[in-house]
Amino acid sequence: MKSFRNIIVNRSGITLVELLAGMAIMTLLMSVTLTTLTTSITIWQTGKVRSEIEHAARYALDIIVREIRYASRLELKSKSALMIIRPNGEKITFQYGNSQSKIIYKVTDNSATGGGIATNPLTPAVIDSLSFEIDSNEVKIIIKAISYRGEKLEYSTRVRSLNIDT
């Protein structure tokens, strides 16, 4: 029977072939892991950007819909600008900045109630276009965006004003 000391002392080590085979297997495993990690990060970033765009569009649609619903009068300033007049005379205009800024703005005119004019951005710079279509007291709102991968995203809704008679 061999003693433990003899096994340790008589051990000759690993050969160059064994070392190269081990390194090749380790390199293969690392490349598969790195490829999987890179793909996962790309998918996560794509989902995050799309989620931010969807959140911005939903938020803008919610604010615009709420104001339209309780408006006493609607006036289409341009295809991408809608003025809403509240029952108290306050005017709110929702408009698309331009193709450079890619922002939807809310312009509030309180001059009828003794205040001033305020302009606030509703969205970050992710919106490609905003358009309004009015049919009697129903408004169709269309928000378009393009993701950084070139995906065209469109969000739309229709809303009726509760204070305007048809």
Q: What is the pTM of this model?
A: 0.74
What pLDDT is stored for residue 141 in this prediction? Answer: 95
What pLDDT is stored for residue 77 in this prediction? Answer: 92
Q: Enter the tokens of residue 72.
A: 């006493």
Asked if the structure places residue 122 within a domain, the reply is yes
Asked if the structure places residue 61 within a domain, the reply is yes
What pLDDT is stored for residue 111 in this prediction? Answer: 79
- E strands present in the chain: 73-78, 81-85, 91-96, 104-109, 117-121, 127-135, 138-146, 152-160
Asked if the structure places residue 22 within a domain, the reply is no
What pLDDT is stored for residue 122 in this prediction? Answer: 84
Asked if the structure places residue 91 within a domain, the reply is yes
Residue type, 19: L
What pLDDT is stored for residue 142 in this prediction? Answer: 95
Range of the domain at 47: 37-160
Asked if the structure places residue 52 within a domain, the reply is yes
> What is the full per-residue pLDDT of the chain (166 aa) written as tens digits?
567 666 666 667 788 898 999 999 999 999 999 999 999 999 998 888 888 888 989 999 999 999 999 898 899 999 999 999 988 888 999 999 877 888 999 999 887 677 788 888 888 888 889 999 998 778 999 999 887 777 888 999 999 988 876 5
Asked if the structure places residue 24 within a domain, the reply is no
What pLDDT is stored for residue 119 in this prediction? Answer: 85
What pLDDT is stored for residue 10 in this prediction? Answer: 63
What pLDDT is stored for residue 165 in this prediction? Answer: 63
Asked if the structure places residue 28 within a domain, the reply is no
Q: Enter the tokens of residue 153.
A: 């995203």
Asked if the structure places residue 98 within a domain, the reply is yes
Check: CB of residue 104 under 8 Å from CB of residue 96. yes
What pLDDT is stored for residue 14 in this prediction? Answer: 82
Domain count, the chain: 1
What pLDDT is stored for residue 4 in this prediction? Answer: 64
